[in-house]
Amino acid sequence: MTPATAPILMSEDQALSLVESTLKQSQADGVFVSLSDGESSLSRFSENQITQNISRSRFNLTITSYFGKRSASASTSEEDPEAIATTLRQSEELARIAPEDPEWVPLLEPQTYDRRIPAFDHATATVSPLRRGEMVKQVCEKAAQAGVESSGTLSVAATSRAIGNSLGVLASDRKTEAEFSVTAKIGKGSSWTSRTAFAIDLLPIAEMTEQAIARSIASQSPRKIQPGVYPVIFDAAAFADLLPWVIWNMDARAADEGRSFMSQTDAAGKSAGNRIGETMFSPLVQVQRNPAHPLLQSGTFFEDGLSNTPLDIITNGIPQTLSYSRYWAQQQGKQPTGMMYPIVMTGSDASLSDLIAQTSQGILVSRAWYVRYINPRTLEVTGMTRDGTFWIENGEIAYPIENLRFNQSLPEMLGEVDALTTGQRFGGSVVPGVRVKAFNFTSTTDSI
């Protein structure tokens, strides 16, 4: 085995050069080119042994050609000039016969992007299968010594991307990402956790493994409690599966058309604008789009070319803005915002243990599982707890409880937040653990 010493990845200059050369070949009224070149690797383990160690290279070049209000896209996974030229001609041929787009917007004008460099960790981009295997081995050994079965994944990715259009938009960047998740099981008890970082050495793998092992052992012989409304502490990993539902549903068009929890209605129940500026949530809820956050250090532009800059979404519990697509912004006389991503919610200096110690009675939820819509208009969802649910009594974890199904309006949940932990990164979001004063559980479940 020969450990990798460098990613087989395009440099930013190479990516930009390829985008520019493709733009020059276009015969359309306008053209947009998007390039992504990536290397990813994954080590999977189960029953305390490694089961898979794979790597993948992926190149994609997508060309969108425009003729008036007609457009079409074509893609290729090949880098050679002939394949790219063929893809360009295909996009042009399709665009000529495509129907006119009733929601057409002109090509994006040149943008101003933040002058910062996204995080690219060389050690993460070049980590060898051998090193990943050694890291997984340590996890499996810890679990075996504790009499627990562990499973999970350790993955890394390095990506180079570039965009450009015929009006002068041109941008590129590179980034790395590492992610570790682990599930520990013993008997009918289980625990799970997951974390993400831009560098593999920033993942607290040993700490996460020890936490998963301890919680799985503690979750043995769960007791049954009656469904109802309870104070709940959500571990940050659990809250990370709930908060994005709120933020990604803050769409301006859906709100203005009466299809969203952010819709304002009149006395007759008809749409009357949106709820920007209303106090809707707890004053502790502070959410931003912040690609420059120290735990993220992500890209400066979105896939469509719009600039990804910091944006206040919720301040002191009050929504500050909605997500405006280029089309809806044009219709409403607003500026397009780009996506509400990455999500960053401000936390505190408190730990999860601190929140538990401050709680007289309640439930600790380690994971929110299989969350699905009940009512998109009110953003009521259903889901289940999983992988370690505990009853809190007098500031301590008293005993494990059987898993519960919940039916809950997530905007109402954010109105009940009364304490926060420090923020952690999960995927592309940074969120804290939270305590909510009231959360609605409707039944018990057999999930573990």
Q: What is the pLDDT of residue 271?
A: 73
* Banded model confidence at residue 33, pLDDT cuts 50, 70, 90: very high
Name the DSSP letter for residue 261: T
Q: Is residue 410 helix, strand or coil?
A: helix
| pLDDT reading at 106 higher than 50 | yes
Q: Is residue 13 helix, strand or coil?
A: helix
Residue 94 dihedral angles phi and psi, to the nearest 5°: -70, -40
The strand ranges marked E within 187-254 are: 189-197, 229-234
Q: In this structure, how many other beta carbons lie within 10 angstroms of the beta carbon of residue 186? A: 17
In percent, the amount of the chain with pLDDT more than 70 equals: 98
Q: What is the mean pLDDT of residues 404-431?
A: 98
H/E element, 399:
strand 396-400
* Banded model confidence at residue 4, pLDDT cuts 50, 70, 90: very low
d(CA 291, CA 298) in angstroms, rounded, equals: 5
* Banded model confidence at residue 19, pLDDT cuts 50, 70, 90: very high
d(CA 401, CA 224) in angstroms, rounded, equals: 6
Sequence-distant (≥ 6) Cβ neighbours of residue 160 within 8 angstroms: 9, 10, 11, 12, 15, 35, 36, 37, 38, 172, 173, 174
Angle at 277 between CA 316 and CA 242, to 5 degrees: 55
- DSSP bridge pairs for 75: 62
| pLDDT reading at 123 higher than 50 | yes
pLDDT tens for residues 333-382?
999 999 999 999 999 999 999 999 999 999 999 999 999 999 999 999 99
Sequence-distant (≥ 6) Cβ neighbours of residue 161 within 8 angstroms: 15, 34, 35, 36, 37, 172, 173, 174, 299
Mean pLDDT, the chain, integer:
96
Tell me whether strands 361-365 and 229-234 are parallel, antiparallel or unpaired: parallel
Q: In this structure, how many other beta carbons lie within 10 angstroms of the beta carbon of residue 45? A: 22
Nearest to 350 by CA among 432, 286, 430: 432
Give rounded-to-5 percent helix, strand, coil for the chain.
Answer: 25, 40, 40
Sequence-distant (≥ 6) Cβ neighbours of residue 50 within 8 angstroms: 43, 44, 133, 136, 137, 140
d(CA 30, CA 23) in angstroms, rounded, equals: 9
Angle at 54 between CA 145 and CA 81, to 5 degrees: 160
Tokens of 311: 């944006």
Q: What is the pLDDT of residue 446?
A: 81
| pLDDT reading at 287 higher than 70 | yes
d(CA 92, CA 103) in angstroms, rounded, equals: 20
* Residue range(s) of every CATH 3.30.2290.10 domain in the chain: 12-211
Q: What is the pLDDT of residue 98?
A: 98
Side chain identity, residue 103: E
Sequence-distant (≥ 6) Cβ neighbours of residue 244 within 8 angstroms: 343, 429
| pLDDT reading at 189 higher than 60 | yes
Q: What is the mean pLDDT of residues 39-60?
A: 96
d(CA 324, CA 318) in angstroms, rounded, equals: 18
CATH code: domain 12-211 is 3.30.2290.10
| pLDDT reading at 5 higher than 60 | no
The strand ranges marked E within 243-385 are: 263-265, 271-274, 287-289, 311-315, 318-319, 343-345, 361-365, 368-375, 380-385
* Banded model confidence at residue 253, pLDDT cuts 50, 70, 90: very high
Angle at 119 between CA 114 and CA 123, to 5 degrees: 160
pLDDT tens for residues 192-237?
999 999 999 999 999 999 999 999 999 999 999 999 999 999 999 9
Which class for 430: exposed (0-12), middle (13-18), buried (19 or more C-beta within 10 A)? buried
* Banded model confidence at residue 320, pLDDT cuts 50, 70, 90: very high
pLDDT tens for residues 63-72?
999 999 999 9
Q: What is the pLDDT of residue 448?
A: 64
Q: What is the mean pLDDT of residues 269-282?
A: 89
* Banded model confidence at residue 2, pLDDT cuts 50, 70, 90: very low
Q: What is the pLDDT of residue 16?
A: 97
| pLDDT reading at 1 higher than 60 | no
* Banded model confidence at residue 188, pLDDT cuts 50, 70, 90: confident
Q: What is the pLDDT of residue 266?
A: 78
